[in-house]
Structure 1
């Protein structure tokens, strides 16, 4: 029987409708995996280890997180309603998941416009109270881009398939994507919410040449380093503090048990995601 994982369409400028992964512990033996479909005009079925996992997966859809044992997984994309994964349109490729970590795999276009698979590790380290984390990932068929906040570059020269991360005060950022060295938006501007103890991941996907660039957003609650602090600028935080405190401690224990090195609080960071060769 085909197993369809619920997916939320997050495309264009509809950032407010982002996929939300609830706060939860990641055990010492499993990993969380979400999947983003970023290849325009190409519905697919997704097979994992030969089993149909995502049925009729549409461009712009974001599915998961799947709770999976640590290990290697063969991922293949086929035409919709294929009988099996014997004739994939992409893959199969092997991804390796480590226990205690959170990942997002993307099926997207590389800079030249060829289909590719990438595996990103999500930074689930707690933030300071009153701060959130913003990660921007370039998975579009486009040259280097700058990320603008209020018309000012805050991330510069981001290339496919790189990512860059900022820890920011709780706020709403008017963000846009422009060609490197310019301020004329290719995507946006769009409002991006930086939430207290939250990780917001924005993906630029699609094709510049085909004029279908779009944004997708993924949101994961990671909690605070200071469970007792109250951010007076966040409405309703006092009422939610006990729940957030509990989630923070659960996540903190899970991260401590994981055999992973997670980054601490940073002002600005660029990391290169491991590109998976098809």
Structure 2
């Protein structure tokens, strides 16, 4: 893969949460507007969590670095709380109240640290547009407690001055690339290098997670398949570098509607009294 094939495209949708209300209308036909494909990325270091939905525990001991999903979820509004394993919902470390899941989108929800090191949740709309023959899509997301970074391929910057929680993306030649993350404008390596396999007709999403101060920076990847120019199925996602773990818990979460974060505001350490 030639470095020259990259073109830098930054996106502000990761932080424009209010925009999710209209996703279904622009990404799906009415026949499919009631559900979205949703995946979860756990990027908060040293913090396994239990997940509560409307006051009910639906996931035990979800580990940092894990990627789960995707799941087809019906649109609706929900409350979510993350607690330390075994702790009650009243001691939540992160909550989202009355969050709206739209219909007709492909979404990744990243639980991560903001630039200042505080836990937060950021929804990202995944670009599932078809790619050309011989091409793959590379998406890089800065979800680490770290300053601005450059992402390099073969030692050459391809995405520059990326800040938390922004993303950059490009359609590139399919193949393998050695990538690393350096402090913006320098050659100081923060993460990597790591070999990234960009398969034809896929989108590979690479997340920088962890904390620079805590020396826990690393990469986690997610792959979305089925983006060949000739349709080959409904796009979905699966884990890449991360271990997705057992799949059975998704069926529990489906009944409770766990992936609830779109359009909701995240709060740290307090939970409102009310509907559970």
**Does TM, normalized by the shorter one, top 0.5?**
yes
- Please state if 1:159 is matched with 2:177: no
Question: 1:238-274 deviations in whole A, cap 9, x for unaligned?
Answer: xxxxxxx432xx55xxxxxxxxxxxxxxxxxxxxx98
Q: Distance in 2 between matches of 1:274 and 1:208?
A: 29
Q: Distance in 2 between matches of 1:31 and 1:70?
A: 7
Q: Distance in 2 between matches of 1:68 and 1:103?
A: 11
Instruction: Report the equivalent of 1:73.
Output: 78
Instruction: Report the equivalent of 1:217.
Output: 221
Structure in which a larger fraction of residues adopt strand = 1
- Please state if 1:114 is matched with 2:114: no
Instruction: Report the equivalent of 1:63.
Output: 68
- Please state if 1:92 is matched with 2:96: yes
| Stretches of structure 2 lacking an aligned partner (at least 5 in a row) | 1-30, 236-261, 268-276
Task: Tell me the secondary structure at the aligned position of residue 105 of structure 1.
Answer: strand
Name which of 21, 33, 36 aligns with 1:31. Answer: 36
Alignment RMSD: 2.0
Question: 1:189-238 deviations in whole A, cap 9, x for unaligned?
Answer: 1111111110100000000011110110000103222x2xxxxxxxxxxx
Contact 1:161 1:275 in 2 (8 A): no
Name which of 122, 127, 134 aligns with 1:123. Answer: 127
Q: Distance in 1 between matches of 2:62 and 2:218?
A: 17
1:110-189 correspondence runs (5 A): 110-189=114-193
Distance 1:106 1:92, change over 3 A: same
Contact 1:172 1:193 in 2 (8 A): yes
Q: Distance in 1 between matches of 2:51 and 2:81?
A: 6
Contact 2:100 2:264 in 1 (8 A): no
Q: Distance in 2 between matches of 1:97 and 1:78?
A: 21
Shift of the alpha carbon at 1:94?
A: 4.4
TM-score, with normalisation over the residues of structure 2?
0.71
Question: 1:16-61 deviations in whole A, cap 9, x for unaligned?
Answer: xxxxxxxxxx933201111111111111111233332321011111
Instruction: Report the equivalent of 1:270.
Output: none
Q: Distance in 2 between matches of 1:276 and 1:157?
A: 26
- Please state if 1:52 is matched with 2:57: yes
| Stretches of structure 1 lacking an aligned partner (at least 5 in a row) | 1-25, 228-244, 252-272
Q: Which has the higher contact order (CA 8 A, sep 6+)?
A: 2
TM-score, with normalisation over the residues of structure 1?
0.71
Q: How many residues align?
A: 211
Contact 1:30 1:69 in 2 (8 A): yes
Shift of the alpha carbon at 1:276?
A: 4.5
Contact 2:205 2:223 in 1 (8 A): yes
Question: 1:131-179 deviations in whole A, cap 9, x for unaligned?
Answer: 1111100010001000001110000010000011110011111110000
Question: 1:61-80 deviations in whole A, cap 9, x for unaligned?
Answer: 11111211012332210121
Question: 1:64-119 deviations in whole A, cap 9, x for unaligned?
Answer: 11211012332210121234x23211113444322111111111111111111111
